[in-house]
Amino acid sequence: MKFKFLTISASLALGMVSFTALGQLYLDPASRSPDSRATPQANSQGSAEPLLNRLVVKFKDQPATRGKELSVSDRTSEQRLLELGAAHAMQTREGVNIALNFLKTTASQAQVALTSEAMDRTTMNALVQRLAQDPSVEYAEIDERAYPQMTPTDPLFATDQSSMKPGGAGNLGGANFSAAWDRTASGVALNGAGVVVAVLDGGYRSHADLGSNVLPGYDFVSQDNIGVYTTANDGNSRDNDALDPGNWNSTASVGCPIADSSWHGTHVAGTIAALGNNGLGVIGAAYGAKILPVRVLGVCGGYVSDIADGIRWAAGLAVAGVPNNTTPARVINLSLGGTGVCGTTYQSAITAARNAGTVVLAATGNGSSYDTLYAPANCSGVIAVTAHTGSGASSLTANIGLGTTISAPGTIIQSTSNTGTTTPLADTYATKSGTSMAVPHVAGVVALIMQAVPGITPDQVSIALTSSARAFPAGTYCVGKYNTVNSCGAGLLDADAAVNAALYPATSSSGGGGGGGGSFGWLELGGLVTLLAAAWGLRRHTSQGQGSR
């Protein structure tokens, strides 16, 4: 948006105190048509709010209502508003007057006024503050819009999806998606529309509650040895079929117990982008986003070399022997991990994906560790996600440690699944727990942020998530002396607060910052971490709750 200077200077007559300009407003006089006065235009960035052109002003000495004589009061009010606007002598650089035009009188005898130019919220707030300072004005405020508060029609939302609901009494761990869904971006519901989220997992199963939200993906699971496809379990190596054939294991081995098929990737995909308001099952965190399934896991897991290639391909980067990805992802969900340090294979792929503008998220792991994250969550540039319970306490099995970015709901998460214990059968829903279930909640928030702020960078996304996180509840492990190295991350995920933080980033004291520049630049990450560290160091905590810390 190109802003023009709007200088306010005034000499108020008619009983009003004279005053000079207190500063400058910034105005975009993009349209001066009569239609623009009646209908605020969308912000050109498409990431904030519609432009504003209505405010409410009430004068201190408003005449009393006299029944049918209200029209006389209206005419008086109209004249006073015109005089107020003229006295302020508001003009754009091009010399166009910015007038206050009377629209109507409210039941409380306040006046609704239209500005002749639509303004962004910052500009309108500044104007309102100046009007409110006038001695003749009792109050002035923006005539805000209210919107229907969406309650999803998906039946399991009401009963089994507390993780998507606001955090509050009885649900302190809720991630507050329902509030974020009430927002709009460029007039479109905020639901992740236009954003591709890659799920690097065991593939997916077609499901009625995923529907058209799943894009064609790719199977990166390669042969274990020459002609051996135990991990792949589909009789072949890499191909364009990302469907999950099942990952059951009937022969116990070290690190790989006997188990039924988990349909893990389908569950993760549903948490991110199950269809919303379709009267069926669950709703996804970003129910308008598209899932790019990238199969990298099979029986007994998967290889880092396959996962790293999958990361590159998902981000739109070339992988030898594999067709180019025509739908690159802006978000990569890695609900997987293994012990050990972050190796070069992982790190180089993650760095390449981030350089391509893709946000990479990974699970910290389910090893009940207090000081160690699994790879790739311990790689540089990854948003490392741990899990908490419905009470907001750290899940007992979730790894925490230095490098954890944020905590998200990860206990008893309901999502899409399949009834097959080996090979796939019918659609169903299932509950799962773990850091694997926490990551897709954060991935969903990132998709919402990217719809709202299309040009946002991975670093800016991380700042929005961490700067908006809610504090861990009092009395839980993550508050106090056990968290002296910030091992639990910035706090509890809050979807609506994170979107708001992305739309209206903190002003940078350095005047620069990563993406915004000037006085509206992004708060630098180092300073943010320092502030959070200082705040956390003051808190006390004790361990609490079965299945939680």
Same domain (yes/no): 127, 189? no
| Three-state SS at 310 | helix
Give the CATH number for residue 226.
3.40.50.200
514: in domain = yes
32 in Cβ contact with 94 (< 8 Å): no
Same domain (yes/no): 257, 302? yes
309: in domain = yes
> End-to-end distance of the chain based on CA atoms, in angstroms?
47
DSSP letter (8 states) at residue 50: B
Same domain (yes/no): 317, 354? yes
Is 116 among the residues known to form the active site? no
326 in Cβ contact with 356 (< 8 Å): no
Sign of CA dihedral 410, 414, 420, 426: negative
Q: What is the pLDDT along the chain (549 residues), one digit of tens a residue?
A: 333 223 323 332 222 222 222 222 222 222 212 222 233 333 333 334 567 888 888 888 755 443 443 344 455 778 888 887 776 655 544 566 678 888 888 777 888 888 888 888 888 888 888 888 888 888 888 886 554 444 567 677 777 777 877 777 788 899 889 999 999 888 888 999 999 999 999 999 999 999 999 999 999 999 888 888 999 999 999 999 999 999 999 987 756 889 999 999 999 999 999 999 999 999 999 999 999 999 999 998 999 999 999 999 999 999 989 999 999 999 999 999 988 888 889 999 999 999 999 999 999 999 999 999 999 999 999 999 999 999 999 999 999 999 999 999 999 999 999 999 999 999 999 999 999 999 999 999 999 999 999 999 999 999 999 999 999 998 898 987 566 667 899 999 999 999 999 999 874 322 222 222 222 222 223 332 322 333 333 232 323 333 556
Same domain (yes/no): 324, 400? yes
Is 201 among the residues known to form the active site? yes
Active site residue: 120, 134, 201, 219, which one?
A: 201
What's the whole-model pTM score?
Answer: 0.70
Same domain (yes/no): 187, 111? no
Rounded CA-CA distance 182/148 in Å is 8
543: in domain = no
Q: What is the pLDDT of residue 246?
A: 96
Rounded CA-CA distance 359/64 in Å is 59
Active site residue: 88, 264, 267, 441, which one?
A: 264
113 in Cβ contact with 55 (< 8 Å): yes
Q: What is the pLDDT of residue 521?
A: 26
Rounded CA-CA distance 25/8 in Å is 8
- Collect all residues with Cβ–Cβ distance below 8 Å to 127 and sequence separation of at least 6: 25, 55, 90, 115, 119
Same domain (yes/no): 24, 108? yes
Last residue of a domain, one of 102, 118, 142: 142
CA angle 452/439/48 to nearest 5° reads 10
Last residue of a domain, one of 115, 142, 169: 142
- Which residues span the domain enclosing 411? 157-536
Active site residue: 407, 415, 433, 436, which one?
A: 436
150: in domain = no
Q: How many domains does the chain have?
A: 2
State both tokens at 266.
């389908």
Is 33 among the residues known to form the active site? no
Same domain (yes/no): 171, 121? no
Same domain (yes/no): 113, 196? no
Last residue of a domain, one of 142, 170, 196: 142
149: in domain = no
3-state secondary structure 227-289: CECCCCCCCCCCECCCECCCCCECCCECCECCECCCCHHHHHHHHHHCCCCCCCCCCCCCCCC
